[in-house]
Amino acid sequence: MVRLSRATLSRVAPAARPLAEPRATGVVHLGIGAFHRAHQAVYTERAMAATGDDRWGICGASQRSTDVADRLRPQDCLYGVRAGEETRVVGSVREVLAPGDDLAARLSAPETAVVTLTITERAYRRDPQGVIGKLVAGLRARAAADAGPLTVISCDNLPGNGATLAGLVADLCEPPLLAWVAENVTFPASMVDRIVPATTQADLDDMAARLGVTDLGAVVTEPFTQWVIEDRFAGDRPAWEQAGALLVGDVRPYERMKLRLLNGSHSAIAYLSGAAHVSEAVSDPVFARFLRRLMDDDLSPTLDGLEGFDLTRYKDSLPARFANPGLRHRVAQIAADGSQKLPQRLLDPARERLAGGHEPRWIALAVAGWMRYVTTARDLADPLADRLRGDETACAAATVNRLMAIEEIFGADLPGDRVFRALVTDCLERLDAGGLPATLRALD
């Protein structure tokens, strides 16, 4: 079968062809993985199609490997997205940079007005060699070239992601550059939501059958998609609101809702269910009931500022999204990097419940599940793996002591919280003794 490219697009059904063909590269994206291709790239293409403004082609950069560049370059950066039964080739990506390519040149080009990032939680650290360092080098080149204002939008699952990124950038800037950034660059916060499992060979085979051409950049996702962006742009931007994005004054209520309800549930599934895929975990009614209790009792009460937003409907929609049989979402993918995910997904809401005198027992159970997971997992994918691994035969109290002492995860406060410590220890003892079903019965 021939490979997908501009030259072979005529073989693709007209309804599945790209909506836009950009003429300039207005956006640079850092971290062009499956998520970006199924999310921001789709919004950007739709915005171009809706307005006819074709300046918003994307230059996507990969930080870690040449894999995406190798897959997309022979395809003129085209790739298919399947969401439910709808399949379409997306045309917004114009260029893919591999590690070592000249990112600073792109970041300092006057036609670039927006930078978006999906670099994962673990990349948000002060590291001149890492992606934030490369962003700063690009800003330095842009300041030197006097190439105009720039909006830099974090699209990672972190609370206050815009301010967090701005802080890390500021830490790596020398004073004159810092002054230029303050004048010319904004860092809006954003909340992104779309479940995008890693693409499998079966997905690629399926995409080839649907398109009639081979596509090594294909992604499979769900129909649901959401993007809420703080309306604080330094200059020009794609008309993302024409593609369904919500531009708001304050992203925080949305971000907390999504991080806690969706991502928090995801992490609970990853560490407790024992299933290989998310859809299998939620097909068990006992487990599904636990997730609802986690959301209703421990997470929803920590959410506010969502007037006019139907929170119950959002919660009701999650089990169906998780159960989507078309998504083979491996729990191992979600379980990875737990040390970077637990604080904002589960520990912050636990803190808030504890401060109000409540006992967040479902959160404690998920945290105990994580403790068991990191103590027993064979290949632990986590930047703190060396400190997380421990004696599998230790008693629950010793494991809780050992792990809660890691300040980067539990802070200085939670280890001293006797209620939380007792809840987690109790859950871990019960999990060790009787497994999940017995523990759930006991907590109910």
Q: Using CB under 6 A as the criterion, which residues of the chain lie in contact with ligand CS2 when the complex forms? A: 157, 193-195, 262-263, 266, 333-334, 341
Residue closer to ligand CS2 by CB (options 59, 227) is 227
Q: Least Å distance between CB 226 and ligand CS2?
A: 8
Report, in Å, the least distance between residue 194 CB and ligand CS2.
Answer: 5
CB of 204 to ligand CS2, least distance (A): 20
- Cα separation, 346 vs 259, whole angstroms: 9
Please report how close the Cβ of residue 286 comes to ligand CS2 at its closest, in angstroms: 22
Return the residue nearest ligand CS2 (CB atom).
266
Amino acid at the residue 359:
E
Residue nearer to ligand CS2 on the CB measure, 164 or 263: 263
Whose Cβ is closer to ligand CS2: residue 112's or residue 344's? 344
Long-range interactions of 301-306: CB distance < 8 A, separation 24+: 301/353, 301/356, 301/358, 302/256, 302/260, 302/348, 302/349, 302/352, 302/353, 303/253, 303/256, 303/257, 303/260, 303/261, 304/253, 305/250, 305/252, 305/253, 306/253, 306/254, 306/257
* Nearest to ligand CS2 of 298, 337 (CB atom): 337
CB of 142 closer than 8 Å to CB of 176: no
In contact, 231 and 188? CB cutoff 8 Å? yes
Neighbours of 398 (CB within 10 A): 13
What is the closest distance, in whole angstroms, from the C-beta atom of residue 341 to ligand CS2 in the complex?
Answer: 6
What backbone torsions phi and psi does residue 206 show, to the nearest 5 degrees? -65, -40
Question: Closer to ligand CS2 at the Cβ: 108 or 344?
Answer: 344
- Closest approach of ligand CS2 to the CB of residue 351, in Å: 20
- Smaller CB distance to ligand CS2: residue 303 or 354? 303
Amino acid at 342: L
| Least CB distance to ligand CS2 at residue 190 (A) | 12
Report the distance separating Cα 261 and Cα 299, nearest Å. Answer: 7
Give whichever of 334 and 400 is closer to ligand CS2, judged by the CB atom: 334
CB 278 within 8 Å of CB 266? yes
